[in-house]
A and B are shown apart, each in its own frame.
Chain A
Amino acid sequence: MTAGTGTHRHWLPIGIRAERRLETPRWLPIATLAIGLLVALLISGALIALIGGDPFLVFRHILNASFGSLGVLSDTLVKATPLIFTGLACAVAFRMRLWNIGAEGQLFLGAWGASAVVLVPLLPPGVSPFVVIPVMIVAGVVAGALWGGIAGWLKARFGVNEIITTLMLNYIAIQWVRFWVFGPWSEGGFQLSEQFPREAWLPRLTDFAKAIPDFAGLTIHLGFLIAIACACLVWLWLARTRTGYEIRLIGDNPRAAHYAGIDIGRMVILVMLVSGGLAGLAGMSEVSGSVHRLQDGFSPGYGFTGVIIAYLARFNPFGVIVAAIAFGGLILAGREIQPAGIPSMIQGIVLFCVICSDVLLRYRVRLVRR
């Protein structure tokens, strides 16, 4: 599909021509996204059929098990909560074309930082939740931000490729958390800490079941609202502030940004701090809102799925929310789907199809008569 010429298929009476687009209409990105998702659905279905499954059954199962009732919808939103945070973390960094693939590690560090408040403990026991929760949030954000900041500093100071450092830091972070849950914080030699006291739990809807009986069993927690608030803040930051403008400028044209006098090294560190902080919040909200303890392997790759979510959303914070809820459903339903690789496979296919559909943004495809 080279510019202007297009491929020639002489055995057909009509041919396909690709022409370079000079401008992109506003509706086009959404249309191409829809096309990409549709193709991804078809390919996934075909693959499931190929390995002997019934694609309609699998897809219906995914829909029922993730959005079928109020209860599972609440569970889906619980899974979506860390994904919104990691999706935002990736979106912020990717908008500057800074490839933070380390949201997973920053999430682990955030969870560790938040847990330290309860498990060290940094606060005396029995303190009001109105103190414990904010302190845990700050600890999680700071730990995640510092972990991301390391990669940012290495990039700004030494020019070390951030993809590699953030990835390596993922493995190191997972080992770091393992040390604490197998060692100092281990409960009875198991690879998990003791359960947090109630004042360290983010409030859930089910906690209010006494007042409103309909809320019984709904595990959606305050983290979801914090995630929505963060999405709004990130949108404001990127779209309405000077720093956000600089981030977008660096992403679109680093050379122009450099000549405009923007200190790119400083921005790299800043964005990695923010991105790491957001991913750290994912870890905090997960241990405080859902798991209620620190344990090995509590994340089924939320940080990596954040990459896909950010890309699906085209780095738009509100798009991140939508994509995160969809993938939350996929992860929730995916736990019951055998073999275990299907969700990962679908994620890969979705990402491929979406980036391929981007070609429609750049080229107008025409059928021409020979």
Chain B
Amino acid sequence: MNLEVILAAGIATGTVLLFATLGEILTERSGVINLGVEGLMFVGALAGFRVGLDAGPWVGLLAAMGAGALLALLHAIVCIRFQADQIVSGLALTFLGLGVALVLGDGLAGTASPQALVPTITIPILSDIPFVGPVLFTDQSALAYLGYLLVPVTAFWITRTRPGLHLRAVGEAPSGADALGISVAGVRYRYTCLGGALAGLAGATISLAVTPGWYAGQTTSGLGWIAVGLVIFARWDPWRAIVGAYLIAVIRRLTLDLQGPPELFGFPNPFFTYQPSTFFLNMLPYLMVILVLVLGSRSARRTGGGAPAALGIPFVRGERGR
């Protein structure tokens, strides 16, 4: 077990969680909950893989984002125009995304060809920094670097730009935003689709970089749902999202590494000698999500949790929230 290897692998999977979490943060900041991230990731993973086979990874990634945005648009129409229950619509989106991906991916199962993979990059000078270099800047896929960039960009966008101000206004006080001439529905449509595009990108990150290929129902293994949980842990803040995403991903990786060695700290390794006990290791990432939410709950209660005030409430002009 090499700590640098584990952390580097954690960064790779963490990028998946990071994209999905950032997308959901943007969507929820506008006041729309989208629980369908898992379904969007399925569709993104399939679209990226399928298109990537023919047209190369970059077109594949674009296709995944387009597919994610398209499906999220459906959620937006249902939630904004029809003012339907956002929770249930998100669940429907999960079913639909999984179903559509399985139907279109029928008979495709298998690993990706090498030319369909997103290339890995080593940054010349930064990779020489001890410890940090090998973890963050050596042989990471181009998408991992996109993840590093996307966090400050998203944070800056939300807190320091005019469109970001509009986004927050729509999520916190839609009536006020409406009175100022901001189109509440327009902003919500835009950020729901943007969130969907990022969820699609997260899916394609799985199928084109992390575990290349299409593995039908096993492709996302709950990462989309974990991302929804991470949004709450992150308190809708991109900087906290990166911490949560990498933390959970490193733990996922660690559970694989713990199964290898015959001895742990001088004792016989129970996960090596008795195979079924590894199922307890598989529980760890999901337990960690619950744990971080419980640990964060006290400070979350003090600060109101950071949830946008109008989260999940359809906006109807002249009406206070239903």
Residues of A whose CB lies within 8 Å of any CB of B are 1-3, 51, 99, 101, 154, 158-161, 163-165, 167-169, 171-172, 175-176, 178-179, 182-184, 186, 304, 307-308, 311, 338-349, 351-352, 355-356, 358-359, 362
Does the CB pair A308–B229 fall under 8 Å? Answer: no
Does the CB pair A154–B290 fall under 8 Å? Answer: yes
Does the CB pair A179–B319 fall under 8 Å? Answer: no
Cα of A311 to Cα of B89 in the assembled complex, Å: 11
Cα of A183 to Cα of B72 in the assembled complex, Å: 42
Q: A161-B229, A168-B287, A352-B92 are in contact. List 10 more A-B contacts (CB 8 A).
A: A159-B301, A163-B228, A172-B286, A175-B280, A175-B283, A183-B274, A308-B91, A355-B78, A355-B84, A355-B88
Whether B98 sits at the interface, judged by CB under 8 Å, is yes
Cα of A184 to Cα of B275 in the assembled complex, Å: 11
Report if A339-B106 is in contact (Cβ < 8 Å); known contacts: A158-B294, A168-B290, A172-B287: yes
Chain B interface main SS type: helix
Does the CB pair A165–B290 fall under 8 Å? Answer: yes
The chain B residue sitting closest to A168, CB to CB, is B286
Cα of A1 to Cα of B77 in the assembled complex, Å: 11
Cα of A200 to Cα of B280 in the assembled complex, Å: 29
Chain A positions within 8 Å of B111 at CB level: none
Chain B positions within 8 Å of A1 at CB level: 81-82
Whether B182 sits at the interface, judged by CB under 8 Å, is no
Does the CB pair A160–B95 fall under 8 Å? Answer: no
The chain A residue sitting closest to B318, CB to CB, is A3
The chain B residue sitting closest to A7, CB to CB, is B81
Does the CB pair B99–A311 fall under 8 Å? Answer: no
Does the CB pair A355–B85 fall under 8 Å? Answer: yes
Report if A343-B99 is in contact (Cβ < 8 Å); known contacts: A163-B87, A355-B89: yes
Does the CB pair A163–B35 fall under 8 Å? Answer: yes
How many residues in B have their beta carbons less than 8 Å from beta carbons of A? 59
Does the CB pair A161–B232 fall under 8 Å? Answer: yes
Whether B93 sits at the interface, judged by CB under 8 Å, is yes
Cα of A175 to Cα of B284 in the assembled complex, Å: 10
Does the CB pair A351–B92 fall under 8 Å? Answer: yes
Instruction: Give the residue of A51, A160, A164, A343 whose beta carbon is less than 8 angstroms from that of B225.
Output: A164
The chain B residue sitting closest to A171, CB to CB, is B286
Give residues of chain B (281-307) contacting chain A, Cβ–Cβ below 8 Å. 282-283, 286-287, 289-290, 293-294, 297-298, 300-301, 305
Q: Report the minimum CB–CB distance from A152 to chain B (whole Å).
A: 13
Report if A182-B290 is in contact (Cβ < 8 Å); known contacts: A352-B74, A362-B83: no
The chain A residue sitting closest to B85, CB to CB, is A355
Task: Kindly count the residue-residue contacts between A and B in the assembled complex, taking CB atoms under 8 Å apart.
Answer: 163
Cα of A158 to Cα of B99 in the assembled complex, Å: 35
The chain B residue sitting closest to A305, CB to CB, is B95
Does the CB pair B93–A359 fall under 8 Å? Answer: no
Interface string of B218-261 (1 = CB under 8 A from A): 00001001101100100000000000000000000000000000
Whether B101 sits at the interface, judged by CB under 8 Å, is yes
Cα of A362 to Cα of B83 in the assembled complex, Å: 10
Report if A344-B99 is in contact (Cβ < 8 Å); known contacts: A154-B294, A159-B301, A307-B91: yes
Q: List 18 A-B contacts (CB under 8 A).
A: A3-B316, A3-B319, A51-B103, A164-B293, A167-B229, A168-B229, A168-B286, A307-B88, A338-B106, A339-B102, A339-B103, A341-B102, A341-B105, A345-B95, A346-B99, A348-B95, A351-B89, A351-B92
Minimum-distance CB pairs A-B, first 8: A341-B102, A345-B99, A348-B96, A183-B276, A339-B106, A348-B95, A344-B99, A351-B92
Whether B70 sits at the interface, judged by CB under 8 Å, is no
Q: Report the minimum CB–CB distance from A188 to chain B (whole Å).
A: 14
Does the CB pair B297–A355 fall under 8 Å? Answer: no
Chain A positions within 8 Å of B98 at CB level: 341, 344, 348
Chain B positions within 8 Å of A167 at CB level: 222, 225, 229
Chain A positions within 8 Å of B276 at CB level: 178-179, 182-184, 186
Cα of A296 to Cα of B279 in the assembled complex, Å: 12
Most buried by B among A168, A347, A349: A168
Does the CB pair A345–B103 fall under 8 Å? Answer: yes
Cα of A183 to Cα of B226 in the assembled complex, Å: 27
Q: Report the minimum CB–CB distance from A147 to chain B (whole Å).
A: 13
Chain A positions within 8 Å of B173 at CB level: none
Whether B195 sits at the interface, judged by CB under 8 Å, is no
Q: Report the minimum CB–CB distance from A317 to chain B (whole Å).
A: 19
Does the CB pair B99–A178 fall under 8 Å? Answer: no
Whether B277 sits at the interface, judged by CB under 8 Å, is yes
Instruction: Give the residue of B74, B84, B274, B318 whose beta carbon is less than 8 angstroms from that of A358.
Output: B84
Cα of A356 to Cα of B86 in the assembled complex, Å: 11
Give residues of chain B (100-126) contacting chain A, Cβ–Cβ below 8 Å. 100-107
